[in-house]
Amino acid sequence: MLSGALRALFLWLSNRRWMARVALATPLLRRMPLRFVAGTTLDSAVAAVRALNADGASATLDVLGESVSDRASAERAAAAYVATIERIAAEGLDANVSIKLTQMGLDLGVDACLEVLQPVVEAGDRHGIFVRIDMESSAYVDRTLEVVARLRDSGCDIGPVIQAYLHRSPDDVERLAADRVRTRICKGAYAEPPEVALQERGAIGDAFVALVERLLDADAYPGVATHDPDMIERVKDFARQRDIGSDRFEFQMLYGIRRDLQRQLLAEGYRLRVYVPYGTEWYPYFMRRLAERPANVLFVLRTIFGERG
């Protein structure tokens, strides 16, 4: 009950941008996002990726931002992604990029979004760097998958994220599996009503594993995005039973979360990709991380006070 109330609170706060100004003006609160965000600049993100690569992990870089309402802002965000891709290539980093389409002007229309996104996918194609299209709330699923399909039809190497808690996701994954589209599966981090999404943790976990299994059977190189040890073990067991090698999928985790589990997976010989967000628009992202697991609040506070001590 308390966990559910905290989740609802953090999701509500994620849309209250004035709280970001309060956080930035408060020294203690300003330190909290640094556990989950690799700084505000591309240089700081590159340093984080170098460290991950040195440990054997891959990365995906996310220039934080969303819900852009004008073309100029969307084009600035796209330019930041082109610069990120160029930097990945120049430094030979083991990394790709993840993009939210509302940051690329999806609210201005699918065609406008595709125009804004074109320089980014061209840069990805030029350097052989995969572009991941993140999934946002349920209202954006159809438009997001339309963008993915149209770009793939034009020959771009991109793939979407599918959220396991949505009732529609098995049908979406079935279509993606049929075309062996490289897809990330995550639980889902937005407040959705029962008629749209599963609400119970166990049911969401079962749905997550079932979607991953379908993509594994299709040899679609799924990204298994979870920090849940039980779900990770279930995926491992399925792969062993089907004689699916560890080179045919990868586990994916968020920067700063369950570093112990990240090290364990790498030691066991599994592929791991860490989602590395950076930029000044950290506030909504940070609040959704707290909503996913309210215990993260105490974890971050212990980390901060431990460092101060």
DSSP assignments along 103-148, one per residue = GGTGGG-HHHHHHHHHHHHHHHHHHT--EEE---SGGGHHHHHHHH
Residue 142 is a catalytic residue: no
For 83, 120, 156, the CA distances from 75, given in Å and listed in that order, are 12, 10, 19
- What is the maximum alpha-carbon separation in the chain? 55
Q: Which of 132, 184, 214, 271 is catalytic?
A: 184
Catalytic: 184? Answer: yes
Q: Which of 62, 134, 172, 234 is catalytic?
A: 134
Residues 225, 186 contacting (CB under 8 angstroms): yes
Read off the amino acid at residue 57.
A
Angle at 164 between CA 287 and CA 81, to 5 degrees: 55
Catalytic residues: 134, 184
